[in-house]
Chain A
Amino acid sequence: MNIIINQKNHNIPDSVSSIQELRRHFNLLTTNVMIEHNGVALTADQQGHIQLESGDKIEIVRFVGGG
């Protein structure tokens, strides 16, 4: 399935069906990241429930140094 992550096209296996699984796929389960799904920021709870669909727009961000 094709989804857009951080403005880039990604072809991911169909078995990756939830945001939680997407995090596992990219080895991000133990890293503090924040995720937006089609413009909506998701809490940790929501990440397990949201099902991915082809064409979804995902943003994965993290805290970085800043003032």
Chain B
Amino acid sequence: MSYYFAIIGTKDNPLFEHEFGTSRQGGDGVARFREDARHMNQFIVHSSLDIVEEVQWGGGQMYLKHVDSFRNSHVFSFITGGNVKFMLLVAPDTHNASRASSASTARSSTYGQVSTYNPTAPSTEEPIRNFFIEVYDAWLKTIMSPFYQVNMPVKSPVFRGRVAGAAKKYL
């Protein structure tokens, strides 16, 4: 599974982007987006923002769960108190060929079935919630910096490390 994570500011401006692959089931944590479809991720996430703005006034939850799907990509969202959106695009692998290089070939067979990926199942939602909450913790620390102003891109390598760490831990 491949993931594309973006933090979107209050003016729909991207503040942070990160791509990674799953570390579960013997995954090596490298994103495997098709090179010709990679730029689509930004478009898909951007178009999902409209839906986030619709549902954000619903229950007051920060974790908005699964908000949108486009073909084989599913978008999950989390919104902070300050209206900054965390968007996570999940793309289950479309072909087993890319998994062949993986060390655990035995497991990849149970893993490669795309049709079984259910974005609203609790087993899918929970790890993503944990991921978001850990990123939120790092995000809070970022905005606590007196030198950080709202809607400023985040360039800190430490922050990127925290996101990567949360991704490795939960996804």
A and B are interacting partners: no
Task: List residues of chain A with CB under 8 Å of any chain B CB.
Answer: none
